[in-house]
Structure 1
Amino acid sequence: MRAFTHRTNRTNRTPRKLALAGVLAAAGLLLTACGTDDGMSGMDHGGTSATSSASTSASAPAAPGADSAPGDFNDADVMFAQMMIPHHEQALEMAKLADGRAEDPEVKKLVAAIEQAQDPEIQKMKAWLKGWGKPESAGHGSGHGMAGMMSDQDMKDLAAAKGKAFDRKFAELMIAHHDGAVAMAKDEQKSGGNATAKKLADDVVRTQSAEVAQLKKILDRL
């Protein structure tokens, strides 16, 4: 009788243990599933964030890098940028005077071309100098001593002209101005060391030489 009772108790405890083990196992699976979901969720978000950050960091330098001049540079490159910036700026001042003063359609078209080309070039050269750790100015003051630069009186005379007189004056002054820029660009072609700066010098020689030829034709018919 005692032996039978002992077996009965063991038999009764076994289903309870199995049931309890089943409950614990189910609870463990549930917790594991929840933990896995949370973990995967965290990984997904983390992965997306990392990808986004990588894309941003990779693309962010693209805007300022667009105007950079990578590679080695020398004093001629620096001087070219420092001198051409005020030279271009004066050309833009001359172009602005055409508004309300110029009469000839070809002069007006040329003015628009000068503004479209030279303002972006100024921004490029400023970016180069910043990247090279050099100042925008080399102490040239107003720049009137540079080749082709107009004097204050030249600018006053141009501002005082109107109609055909303005067109003629503008053409005369811009020819001299462009000739000075072309001479500076040729110096860069010869002595510069930075490929990007020399490429801009090539563009200046090509475009401004063509504009000089056009301005001379305009003068011939005015």
Structure 2
Amino acid sequence: MKALASAALLIALTGCGSSIAASPSPASTPATPTATATATEWKIDPAFNATDLAWIELMIPMDDQLLRVLGMAEQQAADPAVRAFATQVAAGHRAEHARFVALRTRSGLPVRNPHEGHDMPGMMTEPEIVALGKSTEQAFDPLFEKNLKEHLDQSIVLARSITTDGKDAETKQLAASIMTSRAAQLKQLAAL
């Protein structure tokens, strides 16, 4: 199971063009920026391994996108319980997002999104987000709940691989926290 989770993370990341995940040893070799990064090289903190770095680079856009979708749910959901749940989840994700940004800064990663425009598990495509935004109240709730469940499920899979294959202690701690919070959110979502 451990190997499967790690393979899923690396496939998700390397399949999306993350040069960090594909790097043999970012701790020992300065990574070369891609076209989306600055023209200068950056130094990666050796406390982080490639799995840590790839996860950070994936979770920031995943959280960015989910916060956007949660904002829609706070305004458009027909069920007041769904709106309240979206507000609760958004508060936790904003705090989590800040932790990811701090980890990215500490790690030495550049500010970039190597996953922009990719169709990945746990992330809606831009056309799906637009369609969700145009949904009527009755159609909105089940579509939102389906996509939120996919995000929560995928976040657990990715975080599990960090707890086993990550290197940085703070990153591993965040991953363990995400596994716990996402499991609780899945139970709450199922009860809506």
Indicate conservation of the 8 Å contact 1:101/1:163, yes or no: yes
**1:171 maps onto 2:174 in alignment:** no
Instruction: Tell me the alpha carbon deviations over residues 27-78 of structure 1, each in whole angstroms, 9 at most, x when there is no partner.
Output: xxxxxxxxxxxxxxxxxxxxxxxxxxxxxxxxxxxxxxxxxxx982211111
1:45-194 aligned within 5 A = 72-137=47-112, 139-142=114-117, 144-194=118-168
Instruction: Tell me the alpha carbon deviations over residues 187-209 of structure 1, each in whole angstroms, 9 at most, x when there is no partner.
Output: 11111111111111111111112
Larger CA Rg, structure 1 vs 2: 1
Structure 1 partner of 2:185: 211
Instruction: Tell me the alpha carbon deviations over residues 128-152 of structure 1, each in whole angstroms, 9 at most, x when there is no partner.
Output: 121221123362223x333211112
Aligned CA-pair RMSD: 1.9
What's the offset of the Cα at 1:159? 0.6
Q: Which runs of 5+ in 1 are unaligned?
A: 1-69
Q: Distance in 2 between matches of 1:100 and 1:183?
A: 29
What count of residue pairs does the alignment treat as equivalent?
Answer: 148
TM-score normalised by structure 1 residue count: 0.61
Indicate conservation of the 8 Å contact 1:79/1:138, yes or no: no
Q: Distance in 2 between matches of 1:82 and 1:206?
A: 21
Change (3 A) 1:100 1:116: closer
Which segment is superposed worse, 133-142 or 74-83?
133-142
Structure 2 partner of 1:51: none
Q: Percent sequence identity over matched residues?
A: 26
Q: Distance in 2 between matches of 1:135 and 1:110?
A: 33
Change (3 A) 1:217 1:139: same
Indicate conservation of the 8 Å contact 1:147/1:181, yes or no: no
Indicate conservation of the 8 Å contact 2:57/2:114, yes or no: no
TM-score normalised by structure 2 residue count: 0.70
Q: Which runs of 5+ in 2 are unaligned?
A: 1-44
Q: Distance in 1 between matches of 2:136 and 2:189?
A: 17
